[in-house]
């Protein structure tokens, strides 16, 4: 059994999304200790800034006539899609940055959609497979908060992973992740800790769900 893990936090060892994803991964690994885990870290290996344009234009050029840049970008897009298609389950740790989608995640998604297997109108080759989606937000965006309605990332992530890719999505959302390092958020730290505990619990449960689902696939 194989698990694909995506990380995109810029915070390194301080990353909440990575720590919560570790909890989900550990739950999956307990059931599949010898399972393959494919990791795609978009900070360690970001999508080249010019890759998407080259990948898109490559689709309109016969392979033998593509420029070096187009051939390289098309091969990179194919690699990204190969990683998804080869997996049985998915662990996606994605943050909200500046009220929107991480640029690193968006660049990766654009590359996926530039590849013929995931082009608009194509049936998703990963439809129905299970995925744990972990979304982290530094501030608070809930009902009644000053930033209610400012989270433009989570709906997008749900739409792409759930509707476009057709994954069986299980979502863990953690807010106030910057409370511990932001003096102005000190009054919110107790709530932030409760949110984090709940996020780990949710991610652990979802990791177990992924494991049980893949057991069913192997049966």
Q: How many domains does the chain have?
A: 1
Token code pair at residue 135: 């979304």
Q: Considering Cα of 20, then 23, then 27, then 30, what sign does the dihedral take? A: positive
Q: Please report the pLDDT score of residue 211 as a whole number.
A: 94
Closest CA to 94 of 131, 137, 129: 137
Over residues 102-134, the pLDDT tens digits come to 999 999 999 999 999 999 889 999 999 999 999
Dist CA 195 CA 179 (whole Å): 11
Answer whether residue 203 is part of any domain. yes
Distance CA 219, CA 204 (A): 23
Residue 54 domain-assigned?
no
Any domain includes 182: yes
Whether 77 maps to a domain, the answer reads no
**Predicted local confidence at residue 141, as pLDDT:** 94
Q: Is residue 60 part of a domain?
A: no
Tell me how far apart the alpha carbons of residues 162 and 65 are, in angstroms, rounded to a whole number.
36
The per-residue DSSP string of 143-192 comes to TTSTTTT---SHHHHIIIIIIIS--EEEEEEE--TTGGG-GGGGGGHHHH
CA–CA distance, 16 with 76 (Å, rounded to integer): 28
Containing domain of residue 205, as a range? 2-45+84-102+124-218
Q: ∠ CA(133), CA(136), CA(139), 5° rounding?
A: 155
Which residue ranges of the chain lie beneath pLDDT 50? 219
Q: Is residue 70 part of a domain?
A: no
Domain holding 152: CATH number? 3.40.50.360
**Structural domain contains residue 59:** no
- Name the nearest CA neighbour of 29 among 183, 187, 211: 211
Residue 219, pLDDT score: 47
Q: What is the pLDDT of residue 217?
A: 61
- Note whether 136 and 174 are within 8 A (CB): yes
- Please give the pLDDT value at position 216: 75
Measured at the alpha carbon of residue 210, what is the angle toward residues 205 and 118, in degrees to the nearest 5?
A: 130
215 to 23, 37, 53, 94, 205: CA distances (angstroms): 19, 16, 40, 26, 15
Question: Could you tell me if residue 157 is inside a domain?
Answer: yes
**pLDDT at residue 207, rounded to an integer:** 97
């Amino acid at each position: 059994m194989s698990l694909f893990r995506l990380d995109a936090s810029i915070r390194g060892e301080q990353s909440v999304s990575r720590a919560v994803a570790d909890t989900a991964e550990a739950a999956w690994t307990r059931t599949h200790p010898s399972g393959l885990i494919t990791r795609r870290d978009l900070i360690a290996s970001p999508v080249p800034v010019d890759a998407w344009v080259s990948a898109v234009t490559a689709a309109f050029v016969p392979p033998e006539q593509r420029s070096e840049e187009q051939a390289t970008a098309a091969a990179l897009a194919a690699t990204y899609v190969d990683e998804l298609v080869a997996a049985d389950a998915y662990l996606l740790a994605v943050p909200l940055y500046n009220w929107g989608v991480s640029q690193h995640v968006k660049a990766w998604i654009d590359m996926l959609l530039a590849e013929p297997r995931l082009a608009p109108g194509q049936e998703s080759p990963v439809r129905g497979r299970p995925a744990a989606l972990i979304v982290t937000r530094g501030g608070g965006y809930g009902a009644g908060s000053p930033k209610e309605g400012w989270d433009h990332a989570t709906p997008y992530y749900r739409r792409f992973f759930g509707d476009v890719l057709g994954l069986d999505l299980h979502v863990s959302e953690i807010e106030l992740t910057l409370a511990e390092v932001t003096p102005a958020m000190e009054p919110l730290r107790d709530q932030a800790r409760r949110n984090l505990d709940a996020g780990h619990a949710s991610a652990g449960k979802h990791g177990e769900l992924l494991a049980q689902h893949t057991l069913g696939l192997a049966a």
